Amino acid sequence: MSTHFEEELVMLHGWGMNAAVWDGDWQADWPELCQHRIELPGHGTSPFPPTLNNLWRWADACLDAAPARAVWLGWSLGGLVALAAALRAPKRVAGLILLTATPRFVQAADWRPAMPETTLDQFHTELLADPAATLARFLALQVRGSDSARETLQQLREELASRPPPNADALALGLDLLREEDLRGQLPDIRCPALWLFGSHDALVPAAVAERIEMLMPGAQTQIIAGAAHAPHLSHPAEFAQAVRSMLAEVREPLA
């Protein structure tokens, strides 16, 4: 029996990670969902041809692997790719769930709740010298401040080790995307339902981004998960699962 689009969920992980990040106990709450765990170019088992050299081509690659219509869930860099997919092919994206994502990852004069550009520059420099150590440092940053930092960090390490290591060129391009892309001006063009989930203790995407999203995208919902850092789906799985269920129910509602 075929599934309806609201039962199709595309899931995009973050920078340096892979599809194993979605292996959580919370997924048992979604028995009706057909999950499409798409790996970003050059991550996990996903190839990285030279043509995939910008955000829009990454979005196209994910669209090629996705069902005809689905709700898209994107974590961090995966959220940026999901936004690009919604702009690229609006009829194929029924709804968006942006998990600790932001339309602009680095600070600007008019965008203070973000990472300093020097942080990403340092990651670039370290990546050239020691990719493994750079990934390890990034994992530590993702859990910093979380209520369950040690357990979440261990889970991230295990998930990263369960798949092939990411391609170094893909990692470098991913950092370029985080540093250079700015989709703030295009948010009003996204018409599908959208839920932005933030962690109150996130050291990479500050929760204060929620206030900016509410101004830039008035129709969107925002939610801050108390005690969570950059990986709420791992540290606060129950709250994450409930937020996703509520969003999917809202997407279904117009069809009722």
Q: Residues forming the annotated binding site for substrate? A: 15, 76-77, 138-142, 230
Residue matched to tokens 């959208």: 194
Quick check: is 36 catalytic? no
* Contact assessment for residue 55 and residue 181, using Cβ atoms and an 8 Å cutoff: yes
**DSSP symbols for 7-38:** GEEEEE--TT--GGGG--GGGGG-TT-EEEEE
Proportion of the chain in helix, strand, coil states, percent, rounded to 5: 50, 15, 35
CA distance 207 to 160: 25
C-alpha torsion sign, points 89, 95, 99, 105: positive
Q: For residue 96, what is the DSSP state? A: E
CA dihedral 52, 54, 57, 63 (to 10 degrees): 110
Q: Please pick, among 36, 43, 201, 230, the residue that the annotation labels catalytic.
A: 230
Quick check: is 76 catalytic? yes
Query: Would you mind telling me the total number of residues written for the chain in this entry?
Result: 256
Q: Please pick, among 46, 76, 146, 235, the residue that the annotation labels catalytic.
A: 76
Q: For residue 115, what is the DSSP state? A: B
C-alpha torsion sign, points 198, 204, 207, 209: negative
CA distance 47 to 177: 18
Annotated binding residues, written as ranges, equal: 15, 76-77, 138-142, 230
CA distance 139 to 235: 13
Q: Please pick, among 201, 202, 233, 236, the residue that the annotation labels catalytic.
A: 202
For the annotated catalytic residues, the residue numbers are: 76, 202, 230
